[in-house]
Amino acid sequence: MQNFKVLKSKTARTGLAGAVLAGMLAVTNTGLAASSLPLSDIAQNAQKNAILKLNYAGVLKGYTDGTFRPGQEVTRAEFAKIAVLALGFTDEQANMLKGKTVFKDLPADHWATGYINLAVSQGIIKGYPDGTFKPNNNVKVAEALTVYVQGLKINVPASTTSEWYHPYLLEANKTGLYDAKEQPLAAARRDVVAKYTDSFMETPVYANGAYYDKNGNADGTVQKLPVVKGAVASYSKADQKLKLTGQKTEVEIAGNAQVYGTIVTGAQVEYIVKNGKISFLNVITSDANIVEGIVKSSLSYKEFKAIVNGKEVVLEVESGVTVSRSQIGQKFVAVLDENGKVISITISDNAVSGIVKKTSTVSGTKAKREIQLDDQTYELTTNAAIKVKAHPQAKEATGSFADVDKGDLVELTLDVDGKASAVTVTKLSTTQTIKIDTYDNIIRFDGKDYDVLKDTKLYVNEKKVSDLEDLLDGKTAVLTFDEKGNLIKIEQGVGVSAGKLVSSTTAYAAGSPATLATIKVDGKVYDILTTAKLTIDGSTVSATSIKEGQLDDYQIISWKYNLGTNNIVELTAEKQTVKGYVTDKSGKTITVNGKDYVLLSGVTIESNADTNDKEYTLVLNNDGKVKAVTGAEKTVSGVVDTVEVRKENGSVKSAKVVVDGKTYTVEDADVIDKVKQFDLVTLTLTRDGDVKKAATQGKLDKEGVSFIGFETRVNGDKYVFFSNVSTSLKLTKDAQIKYYDGSDLKDSAVKTTDDIDLWVNADGQVYLIVVNKR
């Protein structure tokens, strides 16, 4: 990058350092979005512009891995193909000439025979005196230039020196193909060949074969690569049209055009027109020569102060460039010359727009209000004017900072310090009573008409409908718009959602009228109807029992609400919890399940939490911090399948118990001394999953009784009848049936011919039926 001389010595106190200049590369919202470079290794190459054009033209393309390999040398066979395509011939034309050649070292099946035969027919390529072509030899700089001089049909006199190529190099220099930077007999690299090929294809030629030289003598009529070059006089991003200095009319840029670099007024560009529109455009002016900033002072002594990347700098200007007092605080994009002076400047309103990502307020001595758009945060001035539009077509009304919500579209007018001095807020969601016009396909409310487009999504009770007639005329609807003001969604009926977090709760209060309990979600308050179906932490509760703060920081599993009214009709919510063993503890930070959690003030946990056998349940707030902790040793309960104690030489070698099909290792065999098959057991585990305690309950209540049958009653309770039709016991919800050997059975497998044993828990309910052989 060049080292720009931006400042005079007397203004060095506000110096624009090279590092600052290097940071001026991103110029936003000023031009057509540029394409990323199609080749990964050309960004810093001196021949980047030539390579881009040739890649677009299909003359010299990159490799399948996305590289160009500019330093790689070109073989004679490869150059024959490049030269033929540069002349304007096609691959198809070359393929028609594939086969036998006049060169004895070039087999008929060589991939390049068609290109070489075509080049020979055009008189631009010859072999060696011994009749060979040597296709795999590297092409020399002199050889490549000779081919292109012959392609321009230049009459070259015979050499008067021992070097055959001297006359060709002289003619190449006259046309501008060769600048004597490369040694004539050096192998030509791909980037060097690109430079020569680009110059050759842009050299206009008379119909009779003459050419014009680099000093402008003669006017050509034909270019192999019709490139238009010049400085941008005007550019409209909205219309995608530009005009170069000296042009009378604008040229439109095609929607699928390949555009490289930032288009701004004053920048040097080159483009190619296809079907009347620009299909390829490359900005020659380096991004390092394009500066974006805010005008801080008007022009004085051929210089003005500006804010660039948050720093105050002084920019010198060339004659003809002006910056007036009325433009202070406005945005500019300037083009610098090689000395760092401004040669062109475009000034526009200093405004930004976007979707609100977050708002924040700081009170006290450092009071401020901020709006975040994407990753940029803007502070409002103390007297910033705020206007609000209730929907895209609504009239502006005076508003306040409290009216700015996440998801709103805002336009900020910025001052010279980058603070927002004016804010226009457009709500992209509104609840309205709508009138439906199915004939014209429009929705009407608030005196405004909105087109219902083919992409507008229509929902009734969360179900997508396809016809405008499926909506209810004269009823409430929630309408959603995009940033351009297009209607993208209409919803009526009941809304369904999930995954939200409750930020605050108010209590139900009886009275006349009663005050409904509410929750606040995403900054909006929702009423919980007294008839709402509520499931909180797995239990059904009444809406009239909700207390202040009861659901704060809860996660909504699912909910339904009346669209347009924010009345909740159904809600399932749970505490935000994490359960596991503490593996590390440092101050107020604990680690559970590999993740760190911070305990809020007043929340405590045992000092040995990271070593004891307790499994902790953490209750989190919406910031992910711990607001409550409970801990208990982990237990599992179930029916014992088997108990095994292995002894060796009178000593216990190992002990284990299998409960509901899962095996647990026992620390001390004495713990399971009284545990036997079919017991209902509760095991207390260590943090490693070993059994440290075992408590049994249940007993064999009926042994060897006759099985009569099962009965399920209206309320869902299930009973087993035995011995006779009037004797029964209630089954637990998770009652099991096993064969006497411990294998599981289904209800349908138990026959009236079987004898059964009934095991009951402390409540006298059957938790296990064991089927015996009769």
Please answer whether residues 639 and 678 qualify as being in contact, where contact means their C-beta atoms are separated by less than 8 angstroms.
yes
Residues 628 and 640 in one domain: no
Same domain? For 398 and 458 the reply is no
- Asked if residue 629 and residue 643 are part of one domain, the reply reads no
**What is residue 213's predicted lDDT score, i.e. its pLDDT?**
56
Dump the DSSP string for 313-330: EEEEB-TT----GGGTT-
Query: d(Cα 257, Cα 276) in Å, to the nearest integer?
Result: 12
- Going along 276-339, which residue ranges are E strands? 277-283, 290-295, 303-308, 311-316, 331-336
Which residues are paired to 591 by β-bridges? 584, 596
Would you say residue 125 lies in a domain?
Answer: no
Q: Is residue 411 located within the same domain as residue 372? A: yes
Q: How far apart are CA 506 and CA 550, in angstroms?
A: 8
**437 shares a domain with 422:** no
Q: What is the DSSP letter of 545?
A: G
* 583: β partners: none
Cα separation, 667 vs 740, in Å, equals 29
* Close Cβ partners of 463 (under 8 Å, ≥ 6 residues apart): none
| pLDDT in the model for residue 638 | 94
Q: Residues for the chain: how many in total?
A: 774
d(CA 748, CA 291): 83
Query: Is residue 13 in some structural domain?
Result: no
Among residues 426, 450, 471, the one where a domain terminates is 426
* Closest to 97 measured CA to CA, from 82, 81, 86: 81
Q: For the chain (length 774 residues), average pLDDT per consecutive 10?
A: 28 32 39 71 92 94 93 96 93 93 94 95 91 95 94 85 89 89 94 95 68 56 82 86 91 92 88 93 87 87 87 89 87 88 86 92 89 91 95 96 94 88 94 92 95 92 89 90 94 82 95 94 92 94 96 92 86 94 95 95 95 96 94 95 87 89 93 92 95 93 94 92 94 94 90 94 95 79
φ, ψ dihedrals at 350, nearest 5°:
-85, 85
What's the pLDDT score for residue 498? Answer: 77
The whole domain housing 435 covers 429-492
**Domain stops at, among 470, 492, 514:** 492
Which stretches of 135-189 are DSSP H helices?
141-151, 166-175
- Residues 627 and 643 grouped into a single domain: no
pLDDT of residue 630: 96
pLDDT given at position 328: 86
Asked if the structure places residue 602 within a domain, the reply is: yes
Closest CA to 527 of 543, 512, 516: 516
Enumerate residues 6+ apart whose C-beta is below 8 A from 158.
Answer: 167
Phi/psi at 26 (nearest 5 deg)? Answer: -85, 115
Domain assignment present for 56: no
pLDDT of residue 381: 94
The CA R_g of the chain, rounded to the nearest whole Å, is 42
In a domain, 290, yes or no: no
Question: Is residue 160 one of the residues assigned to a domain?
Answer: no
- Distance between first and last Cα of the chain: 97
Residue whose entry in the numeric block shows the structure tokens 């691959």: 91
- Assess whether 506 and 562 both reside in one domain: yes
CATH number, domain containing residue 646: 2.40.50
pLDDT at position 597: 96
> Is the same domain home to 500 and 568?
yes
Q: Residue 289 has which token pair?
A: 């020569």
Is there a single domain that holds both residue 464 and residue 516? no
Q: Per the domain annotation, does 653 fall within a domain?
A: yes
Residue 240 covered by a domain: no
- The answer on 721 and 756 residing in a single domain is yes
Residue 420 forms beta bridges with which residues?
A: 380, 414
Would you give the DSSP letter of residue 666?
B
**CB environment 455-476: b (16+ within 10 A), e (fewer):** ebebbbeeeeeeebeebeeeeb
State which of 591, 615, 633 marks the end of a domain.
Answer: 633
Longest distance between any two alpha carbons in the chain, whole Å: 130
Number of structural domains, the chain?
Answer: 6
Q: Rounding to the nearest 10 degrees, give the CA dihedral for residues 710, 712, 716, 719.
A: -40
Same domain, yes or no, for 692 and 726?
Answer: no
| H or E element at residue 199 | helix 190-201
Upstream peptide bond of 513 is cis (omega within 30 degrees of 0): yes
| Predicted pLDDT of residue 214 | 56
Q: What is the rounded CA–CA span in Å between residue 258 and residue 243? A: 18
Q: What share of the chain is helix, strand, coil (3-state, %, to 5)?
A: 15, 45, 45
Rounded-to-integer distance, Cα 132 and Cα 124, Å = 16
